[in-house]
Amino acid sequence: MAGGLITSANAIFMLTFTGLFNAPVRLENFSADRAFEAEAIELAETKMSIDGFLNRGYVPRAVSMTVTLSAASKSIPYFDALIMASQQSRTVITLGGEISIPDTGRKFTLLNGCLTNGSVFPSAGTTLEDQTYTLQWERVLPAGI
């Protein structure tokens, strides 16, 4: 790990589909503008008392993540299969994942997730547009590689 490097081009995103595929799938051919991103999570709920005291409490929150793939990505058929399996079985398929970012020496383990929405086909303009998928994770555990 060299200091100052922050490229995301060499990031590795592995996804597991419980009961659907026998091995983890490596996602590839992401959007050039935004490969994946997670929303900030709210860690505390707060209330001010009438006499000026801040009261606070921890409330667990799911982590929402968006994955954006190029329309030509060979990873899209895995999401197509996930959507079809959920629709046919009328259930939600459990996902797991791991993201490794070599330039920063960081790894993130994604636990007990699911697909909450996704593109069923690319929008077509001058060229085909990227396809996006939103995932929810129960927990995300950061670690060094």
Structure tokens at 144: 């060094």
Instruction: Quote the Cα angle for 83-88-90, to 5°.
Output: 90
Structure tokens at 43: 């860690």
26 within 8 A of 11, measured Cβ to Cβ = no
16 within 8 A of 10, measured Cβ to Cβ = no
Nearest of 20, 14, 8 to residue 99 by alpha carbon: 14
Structure tokens at 100: 């490794």
Per domain, the residue ranges of the chain are: 12-144
Q: Is the dihedral of CA 27, 28, 31, 32 positive or negative?
A: positive
Task: List, for residues 23-57, the tens digit of each pLDDT value.
Answer: 999 999 999 889 999 999 999 999 999 999 999 99
Q: What is the pTM of this model?
A: 0.90
| 89 has a pLDDT exceeding 70 | yes
pLDDT band (50, 70, 90) for residue 106: very high
pLDDT given for residue 145 in this prediction:
57
Of all residues in the chain, what percent carry a pLDDT higher than 70? 97
For the domain covering 12-144, report its CATH number.
Answer: 2.40.30
Higher pLDDT, 33 or 80: 80
